[in-house]
Amino acid sequence: MAAAGLYLAGILALRRRGHRWPTAPTVWFFALGLGSYAWVSFGFLGAYSSELRWAFTTRIALLLFAVPALISLGRPVALARLALEGRRASRLEATLRSRAIRLFGNAMFAPLFACAVFLVFLTPVAAVLRDNPWSEWTITIVTPLAGMLMVLPIAAHSIIRTSFFVTVEFLLAFVEMLLDAVPGLLLRLNDGILDHAPAVLGHLPFWFPNALHDQHLSGDFLWFIAEIADVPVLIILFVRWMRLDRREATRYDDLSDAELDALTQAHLRQRP
Per-residue pLDDT at 37: 94
Please report whether residue 218 resides in a domain. yes
- Give the number of domains in the chain: 1
Residue pair 81/162 in contact by the 8 Å Cβ criterion: no
Please report whether residue 245 resides in a domain. yes
Please report whether residue 205 resides in a domain. no
**Which residues neighbour 144 within 8 Å (Cβ) at sequence distance 6 or greater?**
37, 63, 64, 67, 68, 71
In the predicted model, is pLDDT for residue 258 greater than 60? yes
Please report whether residue 248 resides in a domain. yes
Tell me what the mean pLDDT of segment 99-116 comes to. Answer: 74
Please report whether residue 203 resides in a domain. no
**Predicted confidence (pLDDT) per residue in 128-171, tens digit:** 888 888 888 888 899 998 888 877 766 655 454 555 556 666 66
Residue 43: which pLDDT band, with cuts at 50, 70 and 90? Answer: very high
In the predicted model, is pLDDT for residue 100 greater than 70? yes
In the predicted model, is pLDDT for residue 271 greater than 70? no
Tell me the pLDDT of the chain averaged across its residues.
79
188, with CB counted inside 10 A (0-12, 13-18, 19+), is middle
Residue 223: which pLDDT band, with cuts at 50, 70 and 90? Answer: confident
Closest C-alpha to 155, from 243, 235, 81: 235
Please report whether residue 206 resides in a domain. no
Per-residue pLDDT at 217: 92
CA–CA separation, 1 and 70 (whole Å)? 17
Please report whether residue 84 resides in a domain. yes
In the predicted model, is pLDDT for residue 267 greater than 60? no
Greater pLDDT, 106 or 146: 146
Please report whether residue 204 resides in a domain. no
Per-residue pLDDT at 75: 87
Closest C-alpha to 207, from 39, 61, 51, 40: 51
Give residue 129's domain range: 2-198+211-270
Per-residue pLDDT at 250: 65
